[in-house]
Structure 1
Amino acid sequence: MSVDEAGTAGEGAPAAAPESGGFEDLGLRPELLGALAALGYEEPTPIQREAVPPLLAGRDLLGQAATGTGKTAAFALPALHALQPDEHRLSTLVLVPTRELAVQVCEAMHRYGKELGARVLPVYGGAPIGRQLRELDRGVDVVVATPGRALDHLGRGTLPLGDLRTVVLDEADEMLDMGFAEDIDAILEACPPERQTVLFSATMPARIEGLARAHLREPVRIRIQRPATVESGAPLVRQGAYVVPRGHKTAALGRVLDVEAPASAIVFCRTREQVDTVTETLNGRGYRAEALHGGMSQDQRERVMGRLKSGTADLLVATDVAARGLDVEQLTHVVNYDVPSAPESYVHRVGRVGRAGRQGVALTLAEPRELRMLQTIERSTGRKIPVEKLPTVADLRTRRLEMTRAALHESLVEDDLDRFRVVVETLTDDFDLMDVALAAVKLAHEATGAAADEEEIPDVPERDTRPRAGGAERGAGRPPRGPAAGMVKLFVGAGRAAGVRPQDLVGAIAGETSLKGRDIGAIEIADRFSLVEVPDARADEVVTALRATTLKGRKATVRRDRGPRR
């Protein structure tokens, strides 16, 4: 078993690392080796073999590795190795894009550093800052933070960087996508110049290279590639998409799963609320579904994983970040409840099936407005994602009958049926043998417990019906409009005069709350204020989070919009 809080070694390929050897060959201190042995970890993944030695030697490192290569342990183990007993001075700062990932990295570092007495503190928006202040004052070894909250603490003078030895930028490309570039620059400028800097990113666009040139010193470069999913001949993963109106998404998901009948599947959702709602719907439909998201404790996560491994659950509904590190054996299907907001996310999800030469299925439920993103993913991956017709009620009935026929065929081939012979012989005294068989098939079919599905889901034209409004700055001459259905406008007391851009608002909201960039609606930037649309149900969470952080280095008034200004 490998350390795979971020996946398994099978998802990556070593650049030039030996294929054998355990963690003891990496030169880690005995306390870490003991913790890893207690966790059942036997040998490092390729990224860990490549990254740990130069990090132990104090080198800067630039690593490209997709989800599923073991990045967390690759930087966590060297950082913990360098801890000084009982000092509890901040020696390592880890910057991550979301609070869910901050919690996940903290949990991993707690497990690895338990025997060292390591104090690891998550620092992110939406959590009580008072506790963070108390823990920082008490003394910590490692802080794992979102950029916005880290900058907030720097402004308060409560993040002591004088003894800092290592800074890690994890998921750097995602942090830049969320608008944290300036925050990251400001944080790194505040760090001691002689520090060690470690940068991990799933992709290496020019802006990541620029960030590395500005802040890393002669870094060791490591690239762990995911193996190709296409062998000679047909692709291992069948991909497809269905265009579905938003109001029919849960019904469409159930329909697709009923027809596909996956042996083991992950359904990816964008938000925690979606995860809970979809899980409840699927359980009501007769599935053994389990939810997994960043709002769950480690004990809850472990119980979910135990049910998956024991076979008492066959379907996982999860957010992207919460699902990182999970290795579901024999996974047959991945279903995207929404189109992923970035091609890299789509590739990471699809990469969970089609492993080790096995075939798999990746399906996406796309709203009409999401078709443009689907086309972007096609261009990025060089692979067409066919838009298929959603199965009808008649298709579902046919599929269920076929499954009943298959189950009966298996029973006829494999089961000992002699003890039921007397029942058939008795009934054929009064009924035709065919009628007896039909009655038996009916009972077998109904005994599957499949929920009746008579809802017809309307067809949607296979085109993008409107451009995405989210994140776009409206021209000053256009008349104002009300928020979209289900959305509410928030007033933010900072605008163009303060240097605020749409990406700054998106980054602040996505970094300090559980919302993703694509959950955010239209953005208007005026000279002295800004307006941003967010889901009505999440407005109070966003207001609280933005009031607790800074925008362009200063506090701003944040409230629900009161309507047109004269």
Structure 2
Amino acid sequence: MATATAVEQAGFADLGLKPEILNALSALGYEEPTPIQRETIPSLLDGRDLLGQAATGTGKTAAFALPVIQGISRDRKGSDPAGLVLVPTRELAMQVSEAVHRYGAELGVRVLPVYGGQPIVRQLRELERGVDVVVATPGRALDHIARGTLRLDGLRTVVLDEADEMLDMGFAEDIDAILENAPSERQTVLFSATMPRRIDALARRHLKDPVRVRIEREEPAAGEAPRVRESAFVVPRAQKAAALGRVLDVEAPEAAIVFCRTREQVDQLSETLNGRGYRAEALHGGLSQEQRDRVMGRLRAGTADLLVATDVAARGLDVEHLTHVVNYDVPSAPEAYVHRIGRVGRAGREGVAITLAEPREHRMLKTIERTIRRRIPVEKVPTVADLRTRRLELTQAALRESLLEDADLDRFRVVVETLADEFDVMDVALAAVKLVHEAGGPASDEEDIPDVALPKRSGTEQRGAPPTGRRERRQSGAGTVRLFVGAGRAAGIRPQDLVGAIAGESRLSGRDIGAIEIADRFSLVEVPQDAAEEVIQALRRATIKGRRPAVRRDRDR
């Protein structure tokens, strides 16, 4: 596979793009293409299918959007789209749609985002008028295809963006159905941050002799600090919230996302962090689109500095000034870890990725290390003394900044001169600094959090034991159980609906879920035995296809 290091630097003008597109890029301040853009754009302009692997934030959107735009003829006939981009979430659909609109502004490219939660009447109206590019979530795209309102006869290019995320969310069947409805003589482009076997299988089914491009994680040069500083802290479950607060107090992030497994955990932790003095917002599947938009607006405007979210709710979000990503639990799949930390350290900026691990999660931490091929340093939770030192540093920095800015200090001179007649000037300064320092945040915790050492790895594990998760559970004999869900085909239930609900509301990922059987009025889902009660409670809180079905263990097992 090609890598960025093997490619010579080239400007956008050397890639064969139209002058109108170059003008748009120049107006947007783009100067040099990123490695993924340099590697992919020429092949896509030649009409080749492409399988690309690159992390979030590497410029994938422009890499596929610019060739799609270039291929749209101004005098083309018909109202059917020439380009279809499939994405996992509504947020990503909006972001990609906005980018396509900006890049194709001078060419008059018409783009339409199509996703759930938006009035379908508007989508129907715009599709009838005619669009050049549709950016859609798979479920809503398939709905329009079934209605006959999204016609694929004129399609030249199909793009699968964040393909691994779409498969994790249970969209595999939808993607297959959409591509089977697309013209056989088309260009198919697939981008994914990770490349598990199922992505390779998807590519074999739908791509023809694809160009393969892989952009390796950019490692810092000798002597340079890494762009994403990764670390882990091992703490008992009962003290995780306190440990997180301590770490955040020391790190002082400008903006951070804290990932949790369940809605309940998101709500509890956001309340805890708000009580600690942070401006935290909760984001999970229980919020309406209007509530989600409000939360994201506050984060982007800087009136909130922490977003506490589930994986499913945070998919597709792009926060420009994000500095920290925190895994409140060790992710259940290495791919989830890769996606999460890909949100920081983008466009040359530094970022921080922090993971809180319980002692029992050490094996999953090692599995992630083997997948990403680097160590995640395990550090000690900051002590009370560390926190006090850090807060003094922040106070000193704030005072220095005020002095350097040459702020209007003269109006306070009379206060200092009056007090100097009664007290030593140094004592006056110390009292003033004390007031500033105490106004800067809550008092330190009174007790230190005890250190917890990771268990030593066994010889088997050192030789490369299989990752924890579904495959290991079956080998170890831990077993699975079947859950009865009181809704089936008659309610429109599909396998991806059940996978999405379980993955969104519990600690399980799509890989942990076993066989799914859907009957007319009920469904059966296989889950690991040790997670059965958690899944039952999670599904009882969740809404599936607009209803809350009965959930229990299957009585036949």
Q: Same fold (TM over 0.5)?
A: yes
Q: Counterpart in 2 of 1:120? A: 111
Distance 1:152 1:354, change over 3 A: closer
Q: CA RMSD in A?
A: 5.2
* Letter aligned with residue 439 of structure 2: A
Q: Counterpart in 2 of 1:544? A: 545
Q: Does structure 1 residue 267 correspond to structure 2 residue 257?
A: yes
Given candidates 521, 524, 542, the residue that maps to 1:530 is 524
3-state DSSP class of the match of 2:549?
strand
Q: Does structure 1 residue 377 correspond to structure 2 residue 368?
A: yes
**What is the alpha-carbon distance in structure 2 between the residues aligned to residue 99 and residue 352 of structure 1?**
17
Given candidates 26, 30, 33, the residue that maps to 2:15 is 26
Q: Counterpart in 2 of 1:61? A: 50
Structure 2 spans left out of the alignment, 5+ residues: 456-467, 528-533
For residues 341-352 of structure 1, what are the structure 2 equivalents within 5 Å? 341-347=332-338, 349-350=340-341
**What is the alpha-carbon distance in structure 2 between the residues aligned to residue 284 and residue 107 of structure 1?**
37
Indicate if the aligned counterparts of 2:80 and 2:152 stay in contact, CA closer than 8 A. Answer: no
**What is the alpha-carbon distance in structure 1 between the residues aligned to residue 429 and residue 516 of structure 2?**
71
Given candidates 228, 233, 236, the residue that maps to 2:219 is 228
Q: Counterpart in 2 of 1:5? A: none
Indicate if the aligned counterparts of 2:37 and 2:62 stay in contact, CA closer than 8 A. Answer: yes
Given candidates 423, 438, 442, the residue that maps to 2:434 is 442
Q: Does structure 1 residue 102 correspond to structure 2 residue 97?
A: no
3-state DSSP class of the match of 1:193?
coil
Q: Counterpart in 2 of 1:145? A: 136
Indicate if the aligned counterparts of 1:471 and 1:523 stay in contact, CA closer than 8 A. Answer: no
**What is the alpha-carbon distance in structure 2 between the residues aligned to residue 118 and residue 505 of structure 1?**
34
Which 10-residue stretch deviates more, 281-290 or 361-370?
A: 281-290
Distance 1:96 1:437, change over 3 A: closer
Distance 1:408 1:540, change over 3 A: closer
**What is the alpha-carbon distance in structure 2 between the residues aligned to residue 285 and residue 188 of structure 1?**
50
Q: Counterpart in 2 of 1:70? A: 59
3-state DSSP class of the match of 1:94?
strand
Structure 1 residue 194: Cα displacement: 0.7
Q: Counterpart in 1 of 2:462? A: none
Q: Counterpart in 1 of 2:70? A: 81
Indicate if the aligned counterparts of 2:501 and 2:539 stay in contact, CA closer than 8 A. Answer: no
Deviations 1:460-490 (A, max 9, x none): 97679xx9899999x9x99989xxxxxxx85
Given candidates 476, 487, 494, the residue that maps to 1:492 is 487
Indicate if the aligned counterparts of 2:170 and 2:499 stay in contact, CA closer than 8 A. Answer: yes
Structure 1 residue 537: Cα displacement: 8.6
Q: Does structure 1 residue 242 correspond to structure 2 residue 265?
A: no
Give % identity: 59
For residues 304-343 of structure 1, what are the structure 2 equivalents within 5 Å? 321-324=315-318, 328=321, 333-343=324-334
Deviations 1:471-521 (A, max 9, x none): 999x9x99989xxxxxxx8533269xx9987xx45545489x899964999
Q: Counterpart in 1 of 2:422? A: 427
Distance 1:389 1:492, change over 3 A: farther
Q: Counterpart in 1 of 2:463? A: none
State the TM-score, normalized to the length of structure 2.
Answer: 0.71
**What is the alpha-carbon distance in structure 1 between the residues aligned to residue 198 and residue 511 of structure 2?**
24
**What is the alpha-carbon distance in structure 1 between the residues aligned to residue 392 and residue 105 of structure 2?**
54
Indicate if the aligned counterparts of 1:94 and 1:170 stay in contact, CA closer than 8 A. Answer: yes
**What is the alpha-carbon distance in structure 2 between the residues aligned to residue 453 and residue 406 of structure 1?**
19
3-state DSSP class of the match of 2:356?
strand
Given candidates 172, 178, 181, the residue that maps to 1:187 is 178
3-state DSSP class of the match of 1:542?
coil
For residues 340-489 of structure 1, what are the structure 2 equivalents within 5 Å? 340-347=331-338, 349-350=340-341, 361-366=352-357, 371-391=362-382, 393=384, 395-397=386-388, 399-401=390-392, 403-404=394-395, 422=417, 425-428=420-423, 439-448=431-440, 450-454=441-445
Indicate if the aligned counterparts of 2:261 and 2:329 stay in contact, CA closer than 8 A. Answer: no
The higher-RCO structure (CA 8 Å, 6+ apart) is 1
Indicate if the aligned counterparts of 1:471 and 1:521 stay in contact, CA closer than 8 A. Answer: no
* Letter aligned with residue 446 of structure 1: E
* Letter aligned with residue 92 of structure 2: L
3-state DSSP class of the match of 1:544?
coil
Structure 1 residue 349: Cα displacement: 4.7
* Letter aligned with residue 391 of structure 2: R
Indicate if the aligned counterparts of 2:34 and 2:59 stay in contact, CA closer than 8 A. Answer: yes
Structure 1 residue 453: Cα displacement: 4.8
**What is the alpha-carbon distance in structure 2 between the residues aligned to residue 458 and residue 388 of structure 1?**
13
Distance 1:143 1:299, change over 3 A: farther
Indicate if the aligned counterparts of 2:57 and 2:346 stay in contact, CA closer than 8 A. Answer: no
3-state DSSP class of the match of 2:367?
helix
Structure 1 spans left out of the alignment, 5+ residues: 1-11, 482-488, 548-557
Indicate if the aligned counterparts of 1:118 and 1:141 stay in contact, CA closer than 8 A. Answer: yes
Deviations 1:178-228 (A, max 9, x none): 443343333222221111111112233443333323322222232222211
Indicate if the aligned counterparts of 2:482 and 2:524 stay in contact, CA closer than 8 A. Answer: no
Indicate if the aligned counterparts of 1:15 and 1:222 stay in contact, CA closer than 8 A. Answer: no
Q: Does structure 1 residue 49 correspond to structure 2 residue 29?
A: no
Q: Does structure 1 residue 169 correspond to structure 2 residue 160?
A: yes
Distance 1:446 1:120, change over 3 A: same
Distance 1:366 1:213, change over 3 A: same
3-state DSSP class of the match of 1:175?
helix
3-state DSSP class of the match of 2:80?
coil
Given candidates 192, 195, 211, the residue that maps to 1:201 is 192
Distance 1:58 1:272, change over 3 A: farther
Structure 1 residue 157: Cα displacement: 4.2
3-state DSSP class of the match of 1:492?
coil
Distance 1:160 1:412, change over 3 A: closer
